[in-house]
């Protein structure tokens, strides 16, 4: 069964999600939700899905990225779950196009830290520490933003906001800095 992915404008995407208690994590309801979220993320297709995106205000996200694109530091990331994550940003900011299953059909350039550390609970309620860089660090930041009521459109360079089709036809393969230069800098009046 696939879950409905809510779209921007739904209030659940704009509120901080509630933490899960350890006893909840092992319960049948959360374990079933994790499996449904995995199926929904894969079907979308996406590389991450946070519980608020399916209408559940819970500090829970699933992540999996099977793609490999060395030029974007994108390496495969096996399926895993993060619950009640705490994010520590490390490294320099890096700009790149980003999209979202809850802002369907659009992308924009977003600045994210190149490296992060995430302390969270896994699907068994066990503590995990994740040190990530590159694309994986971007995915983690994006999903944790969802758990805090933030969408990528809150962080984007507004002048780069574009349909996914236009990004694919006009900007694919171009350095992000060149795209930003061509569309111009954001200003307070944008």
| pLDDT (tens digit per residue) in 83-121 | 999 999 999 999 999 999 999 999 999 999 999 999 999
Active site residue 143: yes
Place of tokens 């530091």: 73
| 3-class state of residue 182 by DSSP | helix
Which one is catalytic: 39, 64, 143, 189? Answer: 143
Residue 71 confidence class, pLDDT cut points 50, 70, 90: low
Q: Between the CA of residue 116 and those of 26, 63, 110, 132, 159, what are the distances in Å?
A: 27, 15, 16, 5, 27
Residue 133 pLDDT greater than 90, yes or no: yes
Measuring CA to CA, which residue among 16, 30, 10, 9 is closest to residue 145? Answer: 16
- Identify the CATH number of the domain defined by range 11-183: 3.90.45.10
User: pLDDT tens digits, residue range 7-57?
Assistant: 999 999 999 999 999 999 999 999 999 999 999 999 999 999 999 999 999
Contact between 88 and 48 (Cβ < 8 Å): no
Q: Looking at residue 161, what is its pLDDT?
A: 97
Q: What is the pTM of this model?
A: 0.94
Q: Where are the domains of the chain?
A: 11-183
């Amino acid at each position: 069964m696939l879950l409905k992915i809510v779209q921007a404008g739904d209030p659940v995407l704009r509120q901080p999600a509630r933490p899960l208690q350890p006893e909840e994590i092992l319960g049948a309801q959360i374990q079933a939700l994790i499996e449904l979220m995995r199926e929904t993320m894969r079907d979308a297709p996406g590389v991450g899905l946070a519980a608020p995106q399916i209408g559940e205000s819970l500090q829970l996200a699933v992540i999996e990225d099977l793609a490999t694109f060395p030029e974007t530091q994108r390496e495969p990331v096996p399926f895993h779950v993060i619950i009640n994550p705490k994010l520590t940003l490390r490294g320099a900011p890096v700009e790149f196009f980003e999209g979202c299953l809850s802002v369907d059909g659009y992308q924009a350039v977003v600045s994210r830290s190149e490296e992060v550390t995430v302390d969270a609970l896994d699907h068994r309620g066990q503590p995990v520490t994740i040190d990530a860089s590159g694309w994986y660090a971007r995915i983690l930041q994006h999903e944790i933003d969802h758990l805090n009521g933030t969408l990528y459109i809150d962080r984007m360079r507004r002048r780069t906001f574009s349909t996914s089709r236009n990004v694919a036809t006009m900007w694919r393969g171009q350095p992000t800095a060149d795209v930003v230069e061509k569309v111009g800098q954001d200003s307070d009046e944008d």
